[in-house]
Amino acid sequence: MVTLDAIQLKISKLQKQAESLVQQRTSSGLTKIRDLMAKHGLSVADIEQFIGKRRGRKPAAGAKSATKTAVKRTVAPKYADPKTGATWTGRGLAPVWIRDVKNRSKFLIDGSAANGAAKPAARKTAAKKTAKTAARPAAKKTAIKRTLAKKAARKAAAH
C-alpha cells in the first residue's frame, strides 16, 4: 500500500523535474533572443523604444487631436448591500445580491436621485416628451387614412 509520505516524495521529485524543464526552456529561449539581437545589432533600448510606440490604441481616422481626451464620467452608486457594503449604480446587469429582489427601495442609498423628487430640468423634458407623444397618435391616424385612400383608389382604377 502506498503511503502519504511516498506520494509526497514523488510529488516533490516531479516538481523539481518540472522546474528544471522550465529553466531549460527559458534559457534556450533567451539564448535565441540574444543571438537574434546580436545578429541584427539591436539593444534592449531599441526594443523598449519600439514597444513604447505601439502601446495603446491607434487613433481613429477622423479622431480629434490627442490633447482633447475623452472624459470618463463616473456614476454615483444608487444601491448598497447592507450585509457586505457592496454598491451598484443601477446601470448594467444587477448584482446577485439585488437581482431577484422585487422591491429595491430598501437597498437605496440616502441622497440618491431616485429617493428625491425629480429635478426641474427633468420635469421640463418630461413635459416636452408628453407633448410630443400626444401629437403622435393623430399623425399616425392621418397616415393610416392616407394609405387606405391610396389603396382604395388603386382598386377603383384596376376595376
Most confident of 8-22, 62-76, 124-138: 8-22
96 is a domain residue: yes
62 is a domain residue: no
15 is a domain residue: yes
38 is a domain residue: yes
Q: What is the mean pLDDT of residues 120-144?
A: 64
Q: For the purposes of burial, counting CB atoms within 10 Å of the CB of 52, is it exposed (0-12), middle (13-18) or buried (19 or more)? A: exposed
Single out the residue of 105, 109, 83 nearest to residue 96, CA to CA.
83
Total domains in the chain come to 3
68 is a domain residue: no
Query: Same structural domain for residues 11 and 48?
Result: yes
45 is a domain residue: yes
CB atoms within 10 A of CB 149: 10
- pLDDT tens digits for 46-104? 888 887 765 566 666 665 555 556 778 888 999 998 888 899 998 989 999 998 888 98
Rounded Cα distance between 125 and 152, Å, is: 41
**Global model pTM greater than 0.75:** no
Containing structural domain, residue 87: 75-116
